[in-house]
Amino acid sequence: MIPFLNIQAVTALHADEIAAAVDSVVRSGWYLKGKATADFEQAYATFIGTSHCVGCANGLDALTLILKGYMELGVMAPGDEVIVPANTFIASVLAVTRCGLTPVFVEPCANTSLIDDSLIEAAITPRTRAIMVVHLYGRCAWTKRISDICRHYDLKLIEDNAQAHGALAAPDRRTGSMGDAAGHSFYPGKNLGALGDAGAVTTNDDALADVVRRLGNYGMEPKYYCDVQGINSRIDEIQAAVLTIKLRHLDEDNQRRRAIADIYTDMLPASLTLSPFAFDSVYHIYPIFTEQRDALQRYLLSEGIETNIHYPVPPHRQCCFPQFNSFSLPITEQLAATELSLPISPALSTDEARIVAERIRQFFHI
């Protein structure tokens, strides 16, 4: 069996260091808002290239805290609009609706799956306050054109970096440092994954970092004094210690993902894959696209190969969003109907990747 993702094997790559880090927190007797959190926040801010990193409970909270933070700072108010990619995981959209803001969907380019920057300006209205880009599948969605639009219309640029830890947006700049603020998820299956839920906000904005930190801790500062109504969304010391270890290995783990991706790209026809990428993707997911997706998925499973779909139902078609269900977003809908995610992780062997690619070629009689 070739699993889609064997998280046990991924953890095993660095098991001794992780176990020692967990043990040291357990023995310390200090489990929240301590040295392990401060150390991780500093290391991750340095890695991403921002002056601040604020840990929180998960990636959805990270995006929510950014938007709530801007609302507290008077940058946006309920009913204002945030441009979001139509082709994304639902959390990007939930963060917007959770804050009483309105998502405005923009279609992706079919050959990148990322927001089509040529369609953004037409979606801007007098109520637009921000553009969210999502670095889906580990590919950088930021473009200079998007930054220029934000500057021209005075909009905040928010990055959803949940799937792209370590990806490059330019030769010397990482995703998560390209806009005004970025939300990161450290869900266990991510490239930088914790042993449970965790997330973070990165930003160069001192005021935003301050309000995000307060909002994630009930709005308190100093302790027991609340100027704003916050939530409880903190990273715990065990997750922070684990993430500090895994961060040290992230570039090397991403390099292993690239080796797997190269095999798929070399062995599969270009008609199945996304367009090659200018800067370094970190291949959180390796998607292929085919009208025969369901039959291929069944065939691969019969051959002992597990795959996944990211995502079968786009946000605007979800039952929880009846107000968006009638929207027509044909490129997003086509991607959802044809996408299949192949096994990829730093623990997958190159032989396993070759077997996956060979079975796909067999299915298509190549």
Binding letters toward ligand PLP, positions 34-73, x by CB under 6 A: ------------------------xxx-------------
3-class secondary structure for 23-77? HHHHHHCCCECCHHHHHHHHHHHHHHCCCEEEEECCHHHHHHHHHHHHHHCCCCC
Name which of residues 77 to 96 contact ligand PLP (CB under 6 A): 88-89, 91-92
Residue 199 found at the interface with ligand PLP (CB under 6 A): yes
* 234 within 8 A of 36, measured Cβ to Cβ: no
Is 86 or 91 the residue whose CB approaches ligand PLP more closely? 91
* H/E run at residue 199: strand 199-203
- Round to whole Å and give the CA distance between 142 and 185: 18
Backbone Cα Rg of the chain: 20
Exposure b/e, 166-194, CB count within 10 A at least 16 = b: bbbbeeeebbbbbbbbbbbbbbebbbbbb
Contacts with ligand PLP: how many residues (CB under 6 A)? 15
Minimal distance, residue 186 CB to ligand PLP, in Å: 7
Binding letters toward ligand PLP, positions 123-142, x by CB under 6 A: -----------x--------
- Round to whole Å and give the CA distance between 272 and 340: 10
Residue nearest to ligand PLP (CB): 59
Is 75 or 164 the residue whose CB approaches ligand PLP more closely? 164
Minimal distance, residue 95 CB to ligand PLP, in Å: 8
CB-side neighbour CA atoms (13 Å) of 244: 23
* 166 within 8 A of 174, measured Cβ to Cβ: yes
Is 163 or 217 the residue whose CB approaches ligand PLP more closely? 163
Residue 311 found at the interface with ligand PLP (CB under 6 A): no
- The neighbour count for residue 46, using CB atoms within 10 Å, is 12
- The neighbour count for residue 245, using CB atoms within 10 Å, is 17
- Round to whole Å and give the CA distance between 298 and 346: 25
Minimal distance, residue 344 CB to ligand PLP, in Å: 15
Is 32 or 207 the residue whose CB approaches ligand PLP more closely? 32
Strands 173-174 and 286-289: unpaired
Minimal distance, residue 182 CB to ligand PLP, in Å: 11
Is 230 or 315 the residue whose CB approaches ligand PLP more closely? 315
Minimal distance, residue 196 CB to ligand PLP, in Å: 10
Minimal distance, residue 264 CB to ligand PLP, in Å: 20
Is 233 or 296 the residue whose CB approaches ligand PLP more closely? 233
Is 247 or 263 the residue whose CB approaches ligand PLP more closely? 247
Name which of residues 152 to 191 contact ligand PLP (CB under 6 A): 160, 162-163, 185, 187
- Round to whole Å and give the CA distance between 212 and 222: 14
Minimal distance, residue 234 CB to ligand PLP, in Å: 14
Is 55 or 59 the residue whose CB approaches ligand PLP more closely? 59
- Round to whole Å and give the CA distance between 256 and 348: 8
Is 137 or 263 the residue whose CB approaches ligand PLP more closely? 137
Minimal distance, residue 197 CB to ligand PLP, in Å: 6
Task: Identify the burial level of 138 via C-beta atoms within 10 angstroms of its C-beta, where 0-12 means exposed, 13-18 middle and 19 or more buried.
Answer: buried
Minimal distance, residue 364 CB to ligand PLP, in Å: 29
**Where along the sequence are the contacts to ligand PLP (CB under 6 A)?**
58-60, 88-89, 91-92, 134, 160, 162-163, 185, 187, 197, 199
